[in-house]
Structure 1
Amino acid sequence: MLGWLRNLAAPVPQAAVGHLGWLRGALGAALAIALAAGLTAMLLGVSALPLPLPLLVAPLGASAVLVFCVPASPLAQPWPVIGGDLVSAAVGLAVGHAVGVPWLAASIALGIAIALMSLLRCLHPPGGACALLYALGAAGAEHWQWAWIGSIAANVAALAATGWLYNNMTGHPWPHVPVRVPPPLAPAYTRDDIETVLADWNEVLDVDIDDLDAFCQALLRKGRGG
């Protein structure tokens, strides 16, 4: 029981809070959302009220947290962000129109979206929110049409462009470039050993294997005074 509670209260990753990382991420995300709204309004020609399409789609906020707070995460790379959100939104619309029952459409759309994101190697948690949102919108009273894809597409384009520029300007290359692993001091382990352990654990860790390898090498060097 105590172990479960300790896991529940696990700290936020150091990279997201140390050395004012929280401020860098907060400013970047705020900037990206503002630019996304402006770009979407421009691309969709939105000038009248009520708005024909939303300037911002809610799952974009979750995508921004990943892109600017944990830009090294495999789930926060450009292809997962772009592909995950767009594929899932399209799935949500298609299933919503086909099924017509909001709760059923949402559940089916989420399952299909997760499967497709996994197969296309663009798994992105906010994509699940996109699938739910668009399935509910398409199956609900508003009957969202395919034009609604324009909002999420413009949002994601602005987020990716801002993420690339801002992260690289603030010392966090994006797309993420794994740390170069120096020659090992001794054959303590191999990359195959890392993959074997991960397979034995049967868990998906939110870290690239190359980054994990670099961390282990740095740890070994530190322990040996290197």
Structure 2
Amino acid sequence: MVFKFTIDNVLNKYVPANRLNRLPPWIGRFLGAHQAPPRHDYYIWLETLIGTFCGLSLIEGIFKSHTAFTSHNAPMIIASYGASAILCFNASQAPLAQPRSVFMGHFLSSLVGICIQKLFSLSAGGREHYWASGSLSVAVASVLMSICNCVHPPAGASALLPSLDDQIRSMSWWYLPVQIISSLLIITVALITGNIVRSYPVYWWTPAPLPVPKPTSTPLEKSEMETTADAPSSSITYVPSLATIQIAHDSVLVPEELDLMEVEVEWLDSLRMKLQRLHATPSQQV
């Protein structure tokens, strides 16, 4: 289902429109500011193989070496990044694999997991019921990711590990910076390998159109800006008695009776944005 409220309802009015197209092409390409042509499956399979291997190997290589985290029992890799690698390098066009979901999903889930585990650790009874701590952590993290519009399924394991893994528990708050570094590393590799054959990310913040600020502030333009700012963040339009889904570069029409999930709405919006780029209109995604 589509949630009526997410954090985007509040923040999107303050988020600037994408300006990656102003960067030099060789920089913008590796930030997803290009339209990838169709490729044969063999190239995509090879990219997936190389990206997954390099992303996980980089994380393992860094934490296997002597770092500031060595004395804090940091693992060679947090297990949840195996699942993140599948999303980032195989399903890189899905909303769940975008940088916002990867970074915020892992961090928020880790924060929830370590906080709830710390609360259970305050009493002997709580320490005997870490199974409940783990279940509660994943449940709270799932709701929080929905509110923050950064759902990333592998992050559920990041919320669970502080309660169930003794090594992670012994890291205490050092678990959070390890998560931050791991997320940034796997996103960096995805930006490099994912933009050779395909295009990654589809968006940085949201696929929904964002208002572009105008350089002047005449009364007419000011009224137009206010109308744009008050418009819904999604370009989805529900039409009664429509039997098909119609995607154009400026709108998406769906049947009124169709109940879309939030990820499905984001996916339709991302397709619209691709059509918009084909029409050579200024990019409105972040």
Instruction: Specify whether residues 214 and 82 from structure 1 end up closer, same or farther in structure 2 by C-alpha distance, changes over 3 A only.
Output: closer
Within a 5 Å distance, the mapping from 1:177-216 to structure 2 comes to: 189=246, 191-194=251-254, 196=255, 200-205=258-263, 208-213=267-272
Give the unaligned 5+ runs of structure 2.
1-37, 121-125, 208-244, 276-286
Instruction: Specify whether residues 47 and 211 from structure 1 end up closer, same or farther in structure 2 by C-alpha distance, changes over 3 A only.
Output: closer
State the match for 1:10 in structure 2: none
Instruction: Specify whether residues 18 and 214 from structure 1 end up closer, same or farther in structure 2 by C-alpha distance, changes over 3 A only.
Output: farther
**3-state SS of the aligned residue for 1:200?**
coil
Which structure: greater helix fraction? 1
Within a 5 Å distance, the mapping from 1:73-222 to structure 2 comes to: 73-99=94-120, 100=126, 101-137=129-165, 142-168=169-195, 170-176=196-202, 189=246, 191-194=251-254, 196=255, 200-205=258-263, 208-213=267-272
Instruction: Measure, in 1, the Cα distance between the counterparts of 2:99 and 2:274.
Output: 23
Choose which of 15, 39, 42 in structure 1 pairs with 2:62. 39
Q: CA RMSD in A?
A: 3.3
Please tell me whether the aligned partners of residues 117 and 130 of structure 2 are also in contact (alpha carbons under 8 angstroms).
yes
Q: TM-score, normalised by structure 1?
A: 0.70
Give the unaligned 5+ runs of structure 1.
1-14, 179-187, 217-226
Please tell me whether the aligned partners of residues 117 and 133 of structure 2 are also in contact (alpha carbons under 8 angstroms).
yes
Instruction: Measure, in 2, the Cα distance between the counterparts of 1:94 and 1:202.
Output: 33
After TM superposition, the structure 1 stretch with the greater mean CA deviation from structure 2, 51-60 or 36-45, is 36-45
Report how far residue 39 of structure 1 moved: 3.1
**3-state SS of the aligned residue for 1:173?**
coil
**3-state SS of the aligned residue for 2:258?**
helix
Instruction: Measure, in 2, the Cα distance between the counterparts of 1:211 and 1:114.
Output: 23
Instruction: Measure, in 2, the Cα distance between the counterparts of 1:143 and 1:105.
Output: 16
Report how far residue 119 of structure 1 moved: 1.1
Q: Which amino acid aligns with 2:50?
A: L
Counterpart check, 1:18 vs 2:18: no
Instruction: Measure, in 2, the Cα distance between the counterparts of 1:47 and 1:192.
Output: 51
Instruction: Specify whether residues 66 and 137 from structure 1 end up closer, same or farther in structure 2 by C-alpha distance, changes over 3 A only.
Output: same
Please tell me whether the aligned partners of residues 59 and 182 of structure 2 are also in contact (alpha carbons under 8 angstroms).
yes
Please tell me whether the aligned partners of residues 93 and 146 of structure 1 are also in contact (alpha carbons under 8 angstroms).
yes
Instruction: Specify whether residues 41 and 105 from structure 1 end up closer, same or farther in structure 2 by C-alpha distance, changes over 3 A only.
Output: same
Q: Which amino acid aligns with 1:114?
A: S
Q: Which amino acid aligns with 2:146?
A: S
**Greater RCO structure (CA 8 Å; 6+ sep):** 2
Q: TM-score, normalised by structure 2?
A: 0.56
Report how far residue 148 of structure 1 moved: 2.1
Kindly provide the CA deviation profile for residues 135-171 of structure 1, in whole angstroms up to 9, marking residues without a partner as x.
Answer: 3237x99544111223222211211111111111x23
